[in-house]
Amino acid sequence: MGIAVLLKEKKSRKLLLSAGLSWLFDAMDVGMVSFIVAALAVEWQLTAHQIGLISAINSIGMAVGAACAGMLADKYGRANVLILTLLIFSAASGLSALAGSFAVLCMLRFITGFGLGGELPVASTLVSESVPAKDRGRAVVLLESFWAIGWIAAALIAFFVIPDYGWRAAFVIGAVPALYAIYLRKAIADSPKFERSLSAKLTIRQRVAAVWSSEYKTATLMLWLLWFTVVFSYYGMFLWLPTLMLKKGFTLVKSFEYVLIITLAQLPGYFTAAYFIERYGRKFVLVIYLLLTAVSAIWFALSNSPGMIIAAGMSLSFFNLGAWGGMYAYTPELYKSEVRSTGVGLAASFGRVGGVIGPYVVGTLIDRGVSLLSIFLLFFGAILLGAAAVLFLGKETKGLDPDAA
């Protein structure tokens, strides 16, 4: 089920690979932070509350970046904004290596998050409206699969770099994407659909209002619920994964090793979602994969042996990241070109609010001695709410052209 088979047009493959590498760098940075905070907790004697705060501030930056970049991409073009956000997050990530205090690191993580959060919805919008309808959902899920490769890269960096060279070296590696932006400037261009939509020169205020107009309000409500619950649960669980491994009694190096194994399960999760999304539709993938994510969350919380922890963690990775792929494919298809990036950006931005709350809540609950099962029951309920929103409020978009509606 390779990219070359699924996307036969050379132009589509080039766009997917070009945007996918920028997505990979995004994931690598987010993933590295989850490992870095585990090391920082030891070196800087950070409390669980402070660890949660770093993740929360990063997500605040992502929320602001998603909203701003989404609106700017509808005005100035997807390609231009994609390159700008890539430069912002890579520069801030590299500068994080120089952080000498907790406050400075938090400030730089906000700026990094701004770039990260801005890039993701813009990249998915660009790919969604640039490939043929028959490959559209598949292409966006495959774009999202680069996230798994980025996390795998982060886990490898954590396993081989952080123990010997320290967390600052990992942040220096995070500056590499700035060089890639030079290539990206010539490799990608805006889609014909976007170019045609420029004739409808809506202001930013008009675009935001349109997202909540009678035409889109049900879709927007559904998407905001979906994004909030998925991002809340994902960042609450996965950013804490290395630290939770430590609390289960494993060493720092062993916890990194287990998280690397668990992360590998993300790739088949994406690839199966890419297959099912064009065969059975967007709603099928989202509802089924979210329900199985909820079950996997409880399984992980109840696991107490290395084998069971790895199996449950792999199941959690498989279904949760498959659902992420479906969500990114589904969201752009619910808006027309003139407001598409704004709609995607605002949904992603609201979702990032969940990304702020999730890690912070976990840190607070751990500090208060709340059991792991109780924490994961919270995520179980949130994921079920997201699945219900899609099931009852969502419409199927497989094969439909939003601009023809």
Ordered by where they begin, the domains of the chain are 13-185+210-399 (1.20.1250.20)
One-character DSSP codes across 203-267:
-HHHHHHHHTSTTTHHHHHHHHHHHHHHHHHHHHHHTTHHHHHHHTT--HHHHHHHHHHHHHTHH
What's residue 371's pLDDT?
87
Distance CA 88, CA 43 (A): 27
pLDDT at residue 41, as a whole number: 83
According to the model, what pLDDT value does residue 2 have? 47
pLDDT at 56: 78
Inform me whether the pLDDT recorded for 233 exceeds 50: yes
Q: In this predicted structure, what is the pLDDT of residue 9?
A: 65
Please report which confidence band the pLDDT of residue 253 belongs to, taking 50, 70 and 90 as the band edges: low
Query: Where is mean pLDDT largest: 97-101, 154-158, 260-264?
Result: 97-101
User: What is the share, in percent, of the chain residues with pLDDT greater than 90?
Assistant: 47
Give the integer Cα–Cα distance in Å for 349 and 62: 7
268 φ, ψ to 5°? -60, -30
| Position 260 confidence tier, pLDDT thresholds 50, 70, 90 | confident
For 385, counting Cβ atoms within 10 Å of its Cβ (0-12 exposed, 13-18 middle, 19+ buried), the class is middle
Give CA–CA dist 311/353, Å, rounded: 30
Could you read off the pLDDT of 58-68 as tens digits, one per residue?
Answer: 889 999 999 99
pLDDT higher at 162 or 3: 162
Residue 33: pLDDT band with limits 50, 70, 90:
confident
Cβ-count burial of 251 within 10 angstroms (0-12 exposed, 13-18 middle, 19+ buried)?
Answer: exposed
Residues 346-370: what's their mean pLDDT? 88
Token duo for residue 246? 């430590």
Closest listed residue to residue 25, CA positions, set 149, 209, 187: 149
Which range, 119-128, 242-251, 386-395, is most confident? 386-395
pLDDT tens by residue, 1-27: 444 444 556 777 888 888 999 889 988
Q: Each residue of 34-84: pLDDT tens digit?
A: 778 878 888 898 887 787 788 778 889 999 999 999 999 988 889 999 999
Query: What pLDDT shows up at residue 1?
Result: 45
- Least confident interval from 107-111, 224-228, 361-365: 361-365
Q: What angle do CA 209, 215, 217 make, to 5 degrees?
A: 65
pLDDT one-digit tens code per residue, 269-325 = 999 999 999 999 999 999 999 999 999 999 998 988 888 888 999 999 999 999 999
**Percent of the chain with pLDDT strictly greater than 70:** 93
Rounded to an integer, the average pLDDT of 368-385 is 93
pLDDT single digits (tens) 175-206: 888 888 878 877 888 877 776 665 457 788 89
pLDDT of 251 reads 64
What's residue 268's pLDDT?
94
DSSP-derived letter for residue 314 is H
Task: Give the pTM.
Answer: 0.85
Asked if residue 133 has pLDDT above 90, the reply is: no
Q: How many other C-beta atoms are found inside a 10 Å radius of the C-beta of residue 136?
A: 25
